[in-house]
Chains A and B, each alone.
Chain A
Amino acid sequence: MSTTVKPKAMIQDNTRCIGCRACMVACKSWNDRPEDHTDFFAGEGYQNPRGLDANNYTLITFNEIVTGAQPDWVFGRQLCMHCEHPACASACPTTAMFKTDLGPVVFDESRCIGCRACMQACPFIIPKYDYENFAPKIHKCTFCADRLEANLEPACATVCPTGAISFGDREDMVAEAKRRIAAAPGTYIPEIYGLEEVGGTSVLHLSSVPFEQIGYITGLPKTPMPDLTHRWLRTTAPVFAFLYAVFGALNWIVRRRMRHQKGEGEHT
C-alpha cells in the first residue's frame, strides 16, 4: 500500500440494478453470515428480508413504483454509507467504532461494551445487534475493509453482473457519478445520494426516481452529524473549570458568612 492513501468510495447505480441480489449473497458469503428464515409481509417494499439485521449487511429493496401506465419494479439498496464524519464513531465511548484512512467505518469487537449508542446515533439506521447472543456484537457492512487492505474490491462490487456497483477512489467515483447523470439526464434524477448527506459518505447512490420512493431516508442535514454534539462537548473543560470556580467562590462566601454569624453570636 502506498503512503498516500486515497479514500475509497462506491457507486450504487440503482438504474442498472436488476434485483438479482448477487451482492447480498456475496456479502453473506464473505462475512460468513448464516441464512435466515423469512416471512412474507404486507405493505410497501417486497424485499426479503424486510430490513437489515445482524445476518444481513446489505439489502436490495424491491419497490413497486407506477411509472407511466403500469407499475414497475425499482430497486434500491441498503448498506452502511461509511460517512466521512460518522455519527456512530463519534458516539462510541470506547472508540470501538472508527473510520479507517481508506474509508471504511469499522467495528472492533474487542473494545465494545455493548451500549448500542452507535445504533441510536446512525442517521441511516444501519448498525444492528445480535441480541440473542451471550456476547453480542454490532453488525454492519464493513466495506470489506479486510479486502481493501489486500487491494481487493468489496465482495459485492466484484459480483454485480450489470455494473450497478462501481468501486474506486472517492474523487474518481464522484466524477463518474456526475458524468453518468450528465450523460443521461432522462435516466437519472439529478441527485447523488451521499455526495453531501451528513457531510458526505463513501457510498454514492444514483436513482431514476426520487430516493424517498425507494426507501431511502431523505431530508438529512448536509452538515456532519457529530457537529451537533461537538458544539456542546467542546465546552466541557472550560465549563467544568468555570463552574468549579463559581461554586467554590460561592461556598467560600457562604462559609465566611457563617463564621461571622457564629463570631457575632459569641460576642453578644
Chain B
Amino acid sequence: MNWSIRLTWWDKLLLTIMAVGAVFGFVRFATGIGSIANINNAYPWGWWVGYGIMTMIAVGGVGFTITALVEILGVHRYHSFVRPAVLMAFLCYASAITMLMVELGRPWMVWMVLVSWAPTSALYEVGWCAFLYLTVLALEFAQVPLEQAGWGRTLRIVRAIYIPIMILGVTLSHLHQSSLGTLMTLIPHKINVLWWSDNLPLLYLFSAMMAGPAMAILEHLAAARWLGFAPRMELLGGLARIECWLVGLFLAFQMGDLFYRGAADAMFIASWFAVSFWVEIGFGLLLPFVLLMMPEARESRFGLAWACALIIGGILLHRLNVAVIGLRVRHWETYFPSIGEVAITLAITAAALFAFGWLARILPIHEELPSPETRPHAATHPAGVLRGAEGVS
C-alpha cells in the first residue's frame, strides 16, 4: 500500500508547529520541567493537565459517544461517523499520553501504575482505564489498516473480538471519564464553589459525551472541506439535534447541581471566578445551545462549525476552571502558562491533526471518499467499524 501523501500548506504548517514544540520538548527533557514551565508548588497542574490531558481525554470522548450511538443504541444511519470517531479518539488518547510523558516528573517510571495496587486513587483508575482503552481503540481501528494491508488471518481475529472489545471500550470510557472528575472531588477547599461538586464525576462524564457529536460534526466539516467531498448535511443536522439535547441537558444538570448545592450566589459575586464561569456557561453552553436550536444554524456549515467549536471551547474552559483557574491556594501564588508549555501542547495537537490528515488520505476512513486503493469489497460494505459486527453474526 502507498504510505506517501503530497504535503499541502496545512501539513507544512502543522509540521512547523511540531518542530517548534520539539525544540521546547528537548529543553524540557534536557534540563527539567522548571526550565520551561510555569507550573509551581501552588499550581502543580497547569495548562498541560488542563488542556493537554483533561481536555484531550474529554474530546476523545467522541470515540465512545459515536460508537455507543451507532453500535449500542443502534442508530445506524451515523455509522459512517464511527471510523473517524475511533481514529480521533485514538489520536486524542495518544496525545494525552504523550502529554503525560512530558508532564510527569519521572515519565520513565510510569509503568509503576500498572504494577501497583492503589484502589483509593482516582488517578490509578484513570491510568488503568486510559491504558486499556488506548489498547481497545487500537484494536477497534486495526481492521482498517489490516484490511488495506490484506492480512487476512489477523483481520479475522480482530473482527472476531470486535463486539466484546467495543463494549469494553464504551464501558471503560464511562469509568475513566468520570474518574477524572472523581480526582477533583478530593479538594473541595481548593476549588472555587462554582466548580467543586460531589457530582464532578458525572459532570466530567456528561461533558465528555457532549464533546462527542460536536467533534464528529467538526471533523466531518473539516474533512469535507480539505479532503474534498460534499458534507452530508442531513446527517450533520441529525447529530446537531442530538448535540442540542446533550448541551441542554448538561446545562440543566450543571445549573441544577449549582443550585442544589446552594452555591448559586457565587455566580453573582464580582470576581474573576464568576467571569470565567460566565464565559464557560455563556459561550460554551448557552450560545451554542441557542445556535443549535435554530434550524438555519443546523443547516449551515458555518453555524454548525461555530456552535461545535464553542462547545469544545467550553469544555476546555470547564476543565481549566476545575483544575487550574478555579483553584484557590495561598493568595500570593499565581500561575499563567509559559510559552514553552503552550508550544509543547500545540505541537502535540498538531501532531495528532497531522496524523489524522495523513491517515485519512492513505486509509479508507471516510466512506464519502473513493477508496485510496481500489478494493472490490470496499464499495459493497458500509465503511463503519460496524462491519465487524456483521462478521460475527
Contacts and interface: CB of A to CB of B under 8 A. Distances in A.
Contacts of A253: 74
A233 B171 contact: no
Interface in A150-167: none
A136 B170 CA distance: 36
Contacts, number: 191
Contact of A91 (B104, B122, B166, B174): B122
Interface string A110-121: 011111110111
B125 interface: yes
A93 B117 contact: no
B33 interface: yes
A90 B330 contact: no
Interface stretch (B41-49, B144-152, B296-304): B41-49
A29 interface: no
Interface in B175-233: 175, 178-179, 182-183, 185-190, 198, 201
Contacts of B185: 228-229, 232
Contacts of B106: 112-114, 135-136
B372 interface: no
A174 B188 CA distance: 27
Contacts of B393: 255, 258-259
A240 B171 contact: yes
A217 B188 CA distance: 13
B391 to A, nearest CB: 11
Nearest to A239: B175
Contact of B186 (A125, A130, A225): A225
B118 interface: yes
Interface residues of B, number: 65
Nearest to B389: A255
Contacts of B118: 92-95
A131 interface: yes
Nearest to B185: A228
Interface string A65-78: 00000000000000
B376 interface: no
B35 interface: yes
A247 B332 CA distance: 49
A259 B107 CA distance: 48
B71 interface: yes
Interface stretch (B108-116, B256-264, B271-279, B287-295): B108-116
A123 B187 CA distance: 7
B168 A244 contact: yes
Interface string B326-347: 0001101100000000000000
13 contacts: A87-B186, A92-B123, A93-B124, A112-B106, A121-B186, A131-B105, A132-B34, A133-B32, A228-B185, A229-B120, A239-B175, A248-B164, A259-B393
Given A121-B186, A244-B171, A248-B167, 15 more contacts: A50-B332, A51-B41, A52-B41, A90-B120, A91-B120, A91-B121, A91-B123, A93-B127, A228-B186, A230-B120, A232-B182, A236-B119, A243-B170, A250-B72, A258-B393
Interface of B: 31-35, 37, 39-42, 44-45, 68, 71-74, 76, 104-107, 109-110, 112-113, 116-127, 163-164, 166-168, 170-171, 174-175, 178-179, 182-183, 185-190, 198, 201, 329-330, 332-333, 389, 393
